Amino acid sequence: MLDLLFDTSFAASVPRFVTPILLAALGGALCERAGVFNIALEGFLLAGAFAAVLGSYFTGSATAGALAAMVGGIAMGLVFAEFNLRRGGDSIVVSIAINLLAAGLTTYLLRAVFDVAGAFSDPAIVGFKGINIPVIGSIPWIGHVLSGQSILFYIAVAVVPLMHLFLARHRLGLRMRAAGENPQALAAGGVNPKRVQLWALVGCGALCGLGGAQLSIANVNLFVENMSAGRGWIAVVAVLLTRGRPWPLFAIALIFGVVDSLSFRVQGLGMPQQFTDVMPYLATLIVLTALSWWRKRNPA
């Protein structure tokens, strides 16, 4: 049974599950480092997934879908910014509201625009196909993982070192870290922390939007109500555990992605539906517990 689980097709499926979690987590990391307590990643992802389908359906282009997804995510980011940064609403309250807003709005628009309930699938939705990388694709086992994935996967992986570099050496990245650590000091230096945090939210929206696009126009070619299915919360946990540091985030997202794809795989083995549905959440809880326990024992 073990080899059934770990054959090459399993390996190839892992990146499909890692991508949305990784992208959402990277977006969350930006907010975390900039001092914005954003737990609305679930809503951001969902908005992105729906926008991707909208964009792809009406233009026949997957790229347009991805761009639309980014717009959708950024829109949510701007809503967050308006009510949290500009109007001073508590970030937890705003996050809860945005999660509900995204769930309600996407389901509503599903009915209003496409006149369906539950799920929308249509040949007019163009998705991302896998990209075959010539030499790498022929390496046994790992070749299946690295080659043939959607462009969004490669973008996600590329963002990891890019974000690290951005935070370490870019002016805006530096200011974001300052806003996250000591916004008062940043203000005393003449830079408005809220302006910096606004950019963090925009970046977060764009990244989560792309994550949503992976869900709806790369992994499959349809939109299902509440498609994000908890991945946004898993991303929140990942950000929390790694305090928004890109490389550890990558590692954690990989772990969660593996578990997520495992639960999907296990479905075909006759386990009750509920068990496979709950696996990602249980795994997240276990990893969170284990790491928190370890951290309590070994304060850095």
Partner 1 sequence: MRVSLSGIVVRFGALTAVNDVSLAIEPGEIHAVVGENGAGKSTLMNVLFGLVKPQAGTIGIDGRPRVWNSASDAISAGLGMVHQHFMLQEQMTVLENIVLCAEPVGPLGFVDFAAARRRLAESANLHGITVALDREVGRLSVGERQVVEILKMLYREAQVLILDEPTSVLTPQEKDRLFEILRSFRAAGRAIVLITHKLDEVMEIADRVSVMRGGRLVTSAPLAETSKEEIARGIIGGELPPLRQRSARTPGEAVLAVEGLGIGRRGRSVGPLSFSVRAGEIVGIAGVSGNGQAELVQALAGLKPASAGRIVLCGRDITGLSVAERRRIGMSYIPEDRQRMGLALAATVSENANAGRDDRGGFAKGPFLRRGAMAEFARDIIRRFDIRVAGPSALASTMSGGNKQKLVVGREITRATPLIIAENPTWGVDIGAIDFIHGELMRMRDAGHAVLLVSTELDEVMALSDRILVMYEGRFAGEVPGSEATRERLGNLMTSHLGQGSAVAA
Partner 2 sequence: MKLGDGIFGREIVPWLAVVFWIAVVLLVLVELVGASFGDAVEGFIQGAFGGRRFAYLMATLSRATLIVGMALSVMLSFRAGLFNIGGEGQLVAGGLVAALVGIFLPGPPLLVLAVSILAAMAAGAAWAMLGGLLQLYVGVPLLVGSLLLNYPIRYFASYLVAHPFRDVPSGMVQSHLVPMETWLPFFPGTRLDIGILFILVAGISAIAYSYTTVHGYQSRLNGLSPDFAKTVGLPVDRLALQTLAMSGAIAGLVGAVAVFGIHHRYIDGSLVQPLYAWTGIIAVLLVGMIPWLVPLSGFFFAAIQTGAAGMERTAGVPKEIALVVQAAIILFVASRVSGALLASSDRKTDGGSDA
Q: Please report, as ranges, the residues that interact with partner 2 according to CB under 8 A.
A: 37, 39, 79, 83, 87-94, 96-98, 100-101, 103-105, 107-109, 111-113, 117, 230, 233, 236-237, 240, 272-275, 277-278, 281-282, 284-285, 288-289, 292-293, 295-296, 299
140 binding partner (options partner 2, partner 1, none; Cβ < 5 to 8 Å by kind): none
151 binding partner (options partner 2, partner 1, none; Cβ < 5 to 8 Å by kind): none
CB of 90 to partner 2, least distance (A): 5
Binding site for partner 1 (CB under 8 A): 169-172, 174-175, 177-178, 181-182, 184-192
289 binding partner (options partner 1, partner 2, none; Cβ < 5 to 8 Å by kind): partner 2
6 binding partner (options partner 1, partner 2, none; Cβ < 5 to 8 Å by kind): none
User: How far is residue 233's CA from residue 236's CA, in Å, rounded to a whole number?
Assistant: 5
User: How far is residue 231's CA from residue 238's CA, in Å, rounded to a whole number?
Assistant: 10
Does residue 119 sit in helix, strand or coil?
strand
275 binding partner (options partner 1, partner 2, none; Cβ < 5 to 8 Å by kind): partner 2
Find all residues with CB under 8 Å of 53, minimum gap 6, and list them. 65, 120, 125, 216, 217, 222, 223
Residue 167: CB atoms within 10 A of its CB come to 21
CA angle 153, 216, 59 (to 5 degrees): 100
The region that residue 299 occupies, defined by phi over 0 for left and psi between -120 and 50 for alpha, beta otherwise, is beta
Find all residues with CB under 8 Å of 276, minimum gap 6, and list them. 263, 264, 266, 267
Q: What would the two tokens of residue 292 be?
A: 């928190």
Closer CB to partner 2, 67 or 236, in the complex: 236
CB of 249 to partner 1, least distance (A): 17
- Measured in residues, the chain has a length of 300
Closer CB to partner 2, 137 or 248, in the complex: 248
Closer CB to partner 2, 182 or 289, in the complex: 289
Hey, which residues does 56 pair with through a beta bridge?
A: none
CB of 30 to partner 2, least distance (A): 16
* Backbone dihedral angles phi then psi of residue 172, each to the nearest 5 degrees: -65, -35
Closer CB to partner 1, 191 or 266, in the complex: 191
Closer CB to partner 2, 71 or 98, in the complex: 98
112 binding partner (options partner 2, partner 1, none; Cβ < 5 to 8 Å by kind): partner 2
Closer CB to partner 2, 195 or 295, in the complex: 295
Cβ atoms 21, 249 nearer than 8 A? no
